[in-house]
Amino acid sequence: MAREISIARTTKETDIKISLNIDGTGRGNIDTGIGFFNHLLTSFALYSGFDIDISAKGDLEVDGHHLCEDVGIVLGSALNKALGDFKIARFGYSIIPMDDALIISSIDISGRPYFETNDLFTDSFIGTFQTEWLTEFLRAFAMNSRMTLHILKLRGNNSHHIAECLIKSLGISLKEATRKIDDILSTKGVL
């Protein structure tokens, strides 16, 4: 069965439509109205190997917080639903460099949501993108995909490099964690 799904979610703050194919080719068709966020999510699709279509509109006149968090909610829910029988490798990790940045991401798609990271950014902004919006996206994504996600910045000064390196690392860890296996990897027999 193809591990793909389309989800739409509309609130007073945001209107989000996402299509996800876990067994894709890394194609990203992303329109969130926030340039740097589009850049990161396009990279996320490429390194995860997922095909992702995102059309997101939101109350940017307030700021980008609601939109980034809600894209995390919907993308996480889509991943959780598309995984279906959960016969997957479950664990994935990677240590990825990008110039001055060096980031570890480690995942367990366990059904138990948890998110933790150390201090990632010294700057509050990358251009007009607020760095804390990315942390909100990651937390909402981890919670709604029901995975344990740890992100650890080992090094890095340039916030653009840190953000992009983090997303590449997350994509590569996800590609491994969602790899199909023959059975459910759990002593409980369920995830």
- Residues of this chain that bind Mn ion (CB under 5 A): 164
8 A C-beta contact, residue 120 and residue 155: no
CB of 161 to Mn ion, least distance (A): 8
CB of 120 to Mn ion, least distance (A): 16
CB of 166 to Mn ion, least distance (A): 12
8 A C-beta contact, residue 23 and residue 68: no
* Nearest CB to Mn ion, comparing residues 136 and 164: 164
What is the number of the residue whose Cβ is closest to Mn ion? 164
CB of 39 to Mn ion, least distance (A): 6
Burial class (CB in 10 A: 0-12, 13-18, 19+), 79: buried
* Nearest CB to Mn ion, comparing residues 63 and 99: 99
Residues 6+ apart with CB under 8 A from 64: 34, 37, 58, 129, 130, 133
d(CA 109, CA 92): 9
CB of 126 to Mn ion, least distance (A): 9
- CA angle 76/129/161 to nearest 5° reads 85
* Nearest CB to Mn ion, comparing residues 39 and 139: 39
* Nearest CB to Mn ion, comparing residues 109 and 165: 165
* Nearest CB to Mn ion, comparing residues 16 and 138: 138
Tokens of 165: 């390196």
Beta bridge partners of 107: 92, 149
